[in-house]
Amino acid sequence: MKPVYLDYFATTPVDPQVAEAMGACLTIDGTFGNAASRSHRYGWEAEMAVETARQQLAELLNADVREIVWTSGATESDNLAIKGVIEVARQEGNRQPHVITSLIEHKAVLDSCHALEAQGVEITRLAPDANGLISPEAVAEALRENTCLVSIMHANNEIGTVNDIAGISSYTREAGVPLHVDAAQSVGKIAVDVQALGVDLLSVSAHKFYGPKGMGALYCRRGVHHRVAAQIHGGGHERGLRSGTLATHQIVGLGKAAEVAAACLQEEGARLESLRESFLSSLTDLPGVTLNGHRQQRLPGGVNISVADVEGEALLLSLPEFALSTGSACSSASLEPSYVLRALGLPDALAHSSLRISLGRYTSAQDMDLLSARLHEVVPRLRDQTTA
């Protein structure tokens, strides 16, 4: 039997409705045409499918369809937003642009900022508080006259904490500084209303909410398009912001995933939160287990725990019936302790002993009961082996 899947932050399986919609776009009998081929029916049908998907995502985000730019995923969206804004700032005469981000962003943001820093851009990396949150006040204090962009994630991909983006945007709007938000982990899992949040740019990844891998989007608020320079050229697709033949089947899959998410968002969120809280309550009698990040201000299915006096890798190996991780999938090859947990102030020993447990659409109460029971069996045994 396959292990119980509890790594939904890494990726999600494609929803059957999404797979069906995508399959209808692949063969000669389906909507397989090039959406830019407007001289025949195949192109028209593809364009209609693409625009339907754009509407589906726009409705999930409370955005205008003209504000949705298709990309290959949140990594590309992050790069386009961050590098694109800085390129325009330089073109407009800002010789030493400044970017504000945080120490616990996804690598797509951190590495983009690192690349810009090597080119002379000033980067301020804010530290989270002990609960894993970036405060609006910290962002406000870091703003300067030459600040060109603030990039703060909505929900953290390791610990699942959710930042007060609306609070942050109240300061960036007042300062006239664009706010970019990596929302790869939050879209489709909690309500993400770009109007209420006050964001200017927001990155989306389809495979984080039961859509296909290799597909994403960048929300680009009207009036901000001119402040973002394209990073992929050739054909002028997506209103000039992202060239390349549109992958109709992938786009249709993202759109369908957005439609499905919108229909079950509240019910699914409440169910996952209930499972999460029951699981955490079941661990209270297991000494040395601590939750990393704020207890309430987090994604419904997000759990990150440290288990004192036990190596995280050893714990994983002792739980072969579960698919879990010790941190971000993007950093899984690293032997270093999680940079996110270290930024929270955890010592290396506790950071090394962490487990990322992420629940999703197909997680059952029985799954979580089994994990709790196995942890109660395995943790004392591993501790005894360590002290023996």
Q: Can you list the alpha helix ranges (DSSP code H) found in 62-159? A: 74-91, 107-117, 136-142
Q: Which residues contact 188 (CB under 8 A, 6 or more apart)?
A: 60, 208, 209, 210, 257, 258, 261, 265
- CA 352 to chain CA mean position, Å: 23
What pLDDT sits at residue 81? 98
Give the three-class secondary structure for 302. Answer: strand
**Per-residue model confidence (pLDDT) at position 92:** 93
For this structure, is 330 an active site residue? yes
Q: Which helix (H) or strand (E) holds 229?
A: none
Angle, to 10 degrees, between the axis of helix 248-282 and the axis of helix 365-387?
60
Q: Rounded distance, CA 356 to CA 258, Å?
A: 25
Per-residue pLDDT, 326 = 84
pLDDT, averaged per 10 consecutive residues of the chain (388 residues), comes to 96 98 97 94 97 98 98 98 97 93 98 97 97 98 97 98 98 98 98 98 98 98 95 92 96 98 98 98 96 97 96 92 78 73 94 95 98 97 83
- What is the pTM for the complete model shown? 0.95
At residue 331, the pLDDT reads: 52
**Cα distance between residue 241 and residue 232, in whole Å:** 8
Burial (CB < 10 A; 0-12, 13-18, 19+), residue 344, is buried
Question: Residue 24 has what pLDDT?
Answer: 97
Whole-number Å distance between alpha carbons of 189 and 175: 30
Write down all domains in the chain, each with its CATH number in brackets: 4-10+265-387 (3.90.1150.10), 16-260 (3.40.640.10)
Give dist(CA 144, CA 36) in Å, integer: 43
pLDDT at 241: 93
